[in-house]
Each structure stands twice: as C-alpha cells, then as structure tokens.
Amino acid sequence: MLKKVVIPAAGLGTRLLSVTKEQPKEMLPVFARGKNGNLCLKPIVQLVFEQLYQVGFREFCFIVGRGKRAIEDHFTPDFNYVSMLDSKGKDGPADDLENFYKMIDSSTVSWVNQPEPRGFGDAVLKARSFAGDDKFMVHAGDSHFISKNVDHLRRVMRMSEESKANALFLSMEVDDPKRFGIVEGETIENGLVKVKHLVEKPLMPASKLAIMPVYVFDSNIFKALQATKAGFAGELQLTDGIQQMVDWNLNVYTTKVESSEIWLDIGSPDLYWQAQNLSHKHWSHEHSD
C-alpha cells in the first residue's frame, strides 16, 4: 500500500514572471469547488495535496527552494484565522480552511530544501531518506488533474501494484511534444504501455505521448538518478533517470490520461490561462448540473 508522496515545488517559475518573483508558482490559484459547493479559488498545490489525501496518502514530503516560505506558511494550520472568519459570518471559506487544516493535522508533512534549482531529478533525489526502501509517489506541485473520484491517481496506484512496476507514470497525447518529456513504447494490455525510450524536450519528437508529472517509483529510481549525469544547465532530469531504469531492463510502464480527465498546468502564461479557463468551465458546469 502506497503511503508516501513526494511533491517537488522548488522550480523558479521564471516563465511566469513577474508574478512569481515574490510568490511560488505552486501558490497560484485555479478554480475549484468549496465544501459548501460554491465556486472558489485555491492554490494549485493545495488541490494536489487534497487529492492525494483523498486517495489515502498521509506522509508528504515537499521539496522547496529559496523563496518558497509561502507554501510552508500556507500548510501551517491557523485555527485563529478560521475563528475570525466564523465571527464575521464567512462560514463558507472558514469551513474550507478548517477542512484543509484537519487534513494537514492528520498527516505527517516534511520539508526538504533544494537550495539550487538543479532540476526535477535532483529534487526527487533529495527525498531519498524520506522514501527509504518503500514504493512512493511523486506528484509535481504545479500540475493538477480533475477526474471523477480522483480516478487518475487510483489507476496509477493500482496499475503500479498489479504490474509490479519499478516505475509507472501518467502520460498524455499532446499537440506540441517539443515542450515535454516524450515516451516511445508498446501497448501490452489494459492501457498499460511498456516504455522503450524517453527523451526530454526533443527537437525531433518520435511520438506525441508526453510524460505527465505523476509517478510511482521503487527505490531503484535513486540508484538510477545517482548514475545519471546532469544535462543542460547542470540540471538532473527525472526523465534521464527513468531512461536509466529502462536501460537496466527494469519494469517501466506508463498509462494514458483518459479523455474525460482534465489536465491543469500552470508552467507558462498560456498554460496558466488555459488552466483558469478549464477549471472555471468545469466547476461552473458541475455546479449548474
């Protein structure tokens, strides 16, 4: 049973300047539904946490960098603030915050510092002592999926277990594969794809199947990352670490995002604009139904 999850949230977010100069991109809001059913705004990293909690995770390790105190502050329960909201008759937001704080209170939350932005792979490597020898999930703090009953996470967890995967991750067909890590593989059964090759942001993409930042790994990923050389700008890419696992003939699989599942990514202004529109449209429509 998976219990541990690593949430890398240490990227600089330079593509979203100037809004990310003083606040982490993971704290940027997207639309969601509050406890009372009303449309509200929540930081994307909170939505990620709440979904992971919903499917049973209780041990969280956030990888944060310089200037990310706002995330730690946000995940520090402040019940006095809830009482103040209550006293002013703002019971909707008060209920939402209280609910969020109760989730944090019943979880173990660790913070690991990545002092220099050395890549997603380096961020995951920093969680080695947290993960130990257990299987664990990695979920980016700036990427969120809307799916019925959080099925995308349940599916990744179930398939990882059933296939005895050393690594398994979500993937999605995209129109602009040059912006992503790209997967080549062969479908074997029930939507499971055996991964043959991965490459980060290829100039000549061999497929349109992009890696989505939701993964389940065993401890082999740490050995693979340690055996991997840093690439462009001295960054250690998680994609290269997973490729090392493929080269070692370990069981590396991917499963595709389903057409009904909505991906919200805030990594660039156009993606953030899209995330705002998609989340508003989805939750407004859900509420009107």
| CATH superfamily of domain region 147-258 | Spore Coat Polysaccharide Biosynthesis Protein SpsA; Chain A (3.90.550.10)
* CATH of range 1-146+267-289; options 3.20.20.140, 3.90.550.10, 3.50.50.60, 3.40.50.1820: 3.90.550.10
d(CA 57, CA 35): 20
- Kindly state the helix (H) or strand (E) to which residue 247 belongs, with its residue range: helix 238-247
pLDDT band at residue 288 using 50, 70 and 90 as cut-offs: low
- Whole-number pLDDT of residue 113: 92
Q: What φ, ψ does residue 31 adopt, rounded to 5°?
A: -75, 145
d(CA 221, CA 237): 12
- Nearest to 28, CA basis, from 192, 271, 288, 285: 271
Q: Map 94-138 to HEC letters.
A: HHHHHHHHHHHHCCEEEEEECCCCCCHHHHHHCCHHHHCCCCEEE
- Whole-number pLDDT of residue 121: 95
> Among residues of the chain, what percentage have pLDDT more than 90?
68
> Among residues of the chain, what percentage have pLDDT more than 70?
99
pLDDT band at residue 29 using 50, 70 and 90 as cut-offs: very high
Per CATH, 1-146+267-289 and 147-258 having the same topology is answered yes
d(CA 16, CA 25): 8
Higher pLDDT, 205 or 127: 127
Residue 41 has pLDDT above 80, yes or no: yes
What tokens were used for 3?
A: 């219990």
- Whole-number pLDDT of residue 74: 95
The CA radius of gyration of the chain, in Å to the nearest whole number, is 19
d(CA 268, CA 94): 31
- Whole-number pLDDT of residue 1: 81
Residue 15 has pLDDT above 90, yes or no: no
pLDDT band at residue 253 using 50, 70 and 90 as cut-offs: very high
Segments making up each domain of the chain, as ranges = 1-146+267-289, 147-258
d(CA 164, CA 37): 39
- Confirm if 68 and 10 have CB atoms less than 8 A apart: yes
Predicted TM-score of the model (pTM)? 0.94
d(CA 246, CA 253): 9
